[in-house]
């Protein structure tokens, strides 16, 4: 269930296919239920993907590489999507070239390349839906790639994944894990966090 650069490629393609047709919309509308508008959400997405790529290639143990990536003030929705796709591809390239033993700081735990790939996929999939909802309406539900979602849930939410397997689609499981929806018998999560540290690292340090 390791998340790979190929999963990132698929998530990037999903985001591009979802958001590309929305380039004529008003990206100052709120993105789904977020406090950000669609423009700020896309800008965040580009920044966080570049940040993850920087973590993978530089490997700081106790901090983020200190920068903030922003789009030009006059950037169009198409420009913002180009920023997101470029940042995602840089992260995929970083994951492809990193050794499996590489580790870098993340608040959820020192993450390996698969962890950063999984976090990048989650950001792409969830925020693509947020922006689509801002443009098409809150009832919009996308059909994200199920196998990618399943691997992301297994990597980032290992404590939840066994119970969710077979109880919901992988996409709904990811949406539930990240507080987007309720599931039958499972209320919507008000707080959540993913597991950045590889499970094998956790087991080695457990007393």
| Tens digits of residue pLDDT in 162-187 | 889 888 999 999 999 999 999 999 99
Give the pLDDT confidence score for residue 141 in this predicted structure: 84
Give the pLDDT confidence score for residue 107 in this predicted structure: 95
Higher pLDDT, 165 or 126: 126
Instruction: Indicate the pLDDT class of residue 199, thresholds 50, 70 and 90.
Output: confident
In percent, the amount of the chain with pLDDT more than 90 equals 90
Quote the pTM value: 0.95
Q: Which two tokens stand for residue 129?
A: 């839906």
pLDDT at 14 over 50: yes
Instruction: Spell out the residues 6+ positions from residue 81 whose beta carbon is closer than 8 angstroms to its own.
Output: 15, 16, 19, 20, 23, 42
pLDDT per residue over 63-113, tens digit each?
999 999 999 999 999 999 999 999 999 999 999 999 999 999 999 999 999
Instruction: Spell out the residues 6+ positions from residue 16 whose beta carbon is closer than 8 angstroms to its own.
Output: 81, 84, 85
pLDDT average, residue stretch 3-19: 98
Q: Count Cβ atoms within 10 A of the Cβ of residue 36 and give its class: 0-12 exposed, 13-18 middle, 19 or more buried.
A: middle
């Amino acid at each position: 269930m390791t998340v790979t650069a190929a999963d990132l490629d698929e998530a990037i393609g999903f985001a591009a296919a979802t958001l590309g047709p929305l380039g004529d919309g008003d990206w100052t509308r709120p993105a789904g239920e977020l406090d950000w508008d669609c423009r700020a959400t896309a800008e965040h997405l580009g920044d966080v993907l570049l940040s993850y790529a920087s973590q993978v290639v530089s490997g700081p143990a106790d901090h983020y590489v200190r920068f903030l990536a922003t789009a030009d003030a006059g950037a169009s929705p198409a420009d913002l999507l180009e920023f997101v796709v470029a940042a995602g591809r840089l992260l995929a390239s970083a994951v492809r070239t990193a050794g499996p033993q590489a580790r870098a700081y993340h608040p959820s735990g020192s993450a390996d390349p698969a962890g950063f790939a999984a976090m990048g996929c989650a950001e792409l999939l969830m925020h693509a839906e947020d922006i689509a909802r801002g443009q098409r309406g809150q009832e919009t539900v996308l059909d994200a790639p199920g196998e990618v979602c399943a691997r992301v849930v297994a990597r980032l939410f290992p404590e939840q994944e066994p119970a969710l397997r077979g109880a919901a689609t992988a996409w709904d499981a990811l949406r539930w894990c990240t507080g987007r929806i309720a599931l039958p018998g499972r209320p919507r999560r008000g707080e959540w966090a993913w597991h950045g540290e590889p499970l094998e690292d956790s087991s080695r340090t457990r007393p």
